[in-house]
Chain A
Amino acid sequence: MLALLFILFAGLAIGCALAVVAQRNPLYSAISLIGVFISLACLYVMLAAPFIAAVQVIVYAGAIMVLVVFVIMLLNVEHEDARRTKIGFLLPAALVLAAVLIAEVAFILVSVDKASFPTSSASSIGSTASIGSQLFTTYLLPFEITSILLLMAIVGAMTLARRTKELSANARVIPGAQLLAANVVDSSKFLDDTTAIETDTVDEAASLLGISSPRDPSERD
């Protein structure tokens, strides 16, 4: 019975993992990866690790994959083009490495002793209580380092994903519009008129101010 369940979930995991690699559309790859995560969570339940299974579903299939799918949709990723480069000598190298891997797996299957998992009935291994007590006593230092790592990740992600504004020294900000360099705005023309005008785009602001062409936003320094 357990062997059947293992074969079911292992087959599901391998099939979804192959689909992750085979799909051209990254969104389909993400959906397949969620399938891998959920079948692995089922395997964790079979291995008497219910806490890890729940965290797998919540953190991996929930948080991380939602982030990935969000980025895929934000960037509007198109299909992958066909590979331009030739594989050439890579093919025999890949065959050799695959042979090494198959030998390794065969070695595992043959040489690891056939002992099944211990079936102690009163095992509390894997329960939330045992994990928590270990995490806050023996492994307290890694836990605290992990929190520092998460803080660094938050700061790093915000720094990286922030849109960098390249302001020259003589730029000035027009409220309600975007950025215009000071030398394209003739400020003396507007000193007698202090009425606030709201604009939404640079072009609109430029036409109101009588400037021919603002800085091209797609231009890079």
Chain B
Amino acid sequence: MEPQLSWYLALSAVLFTIGVAGVIIKRNVIAMFMCIELMLNAVNLTFVSFASFFQDVTGQLFVFIVMTVAAAEAAVGLGIIIAIFRNRESLDVDDASILKL
């Protein structure tokens, strides 16, 4: 039995939901950041499976650009995390409820 498109879509939905739940549950900034990466990967899986299903390379190009954006997000996001940690000595998001650094 061959894997079907719906299997990949269901897997992607499950991974995305786990990522959403992680963002809601976790209080550590770095853990929330990793859950956002998980959600990005779930969407990437959808793109690649549709690209393979429709025999169209555009979906894979989307994934390529999403990965680039994720890399930029990682650099800037971790810079923000370091700045917050220097000022507050804590990575708890509840401690960073004020935007003033």
Contacts and interface: CB of A to CB of B under 8 A. Distances in A.
Q: Are A and B a genuine interacting pair, yes or no?
A: yes
Nearest to A75: B85
A80 B55 contact: no
A109 B6 contact: yes
Nearest to A133: B57
Interface bracket on A: 35 or more
Nearest to B15: A17
Given A47-B48, A160-B80, A80 B72 contact: no
A160 B3 contact: no
Nearest to B78: A71
Contacts of A80: 26-28, 31
A112 B7 CA distance: 10
Interface stretch (A123-131, A165-173, A203-211): A123-131
**Prevailing SS type, chain B contact patch:** helix
A177 interface: no
Interface stretch (A60-68, A183-191, A194-202): A60-68
**Prevailing SS type, chain A contact patch:** helix
B13 interface: yes
B83 A161 contact: yes
A120 B55 contact: yes
Interface string A69-89: 001101101001101100000
A51 B41 CA distance: 16
10 contacts: A10-B7, A13-B11, A14-B15, A26-B34, A36-B38, A47-B51, A52-B48, A71-B30, A105-B14, A149-B72
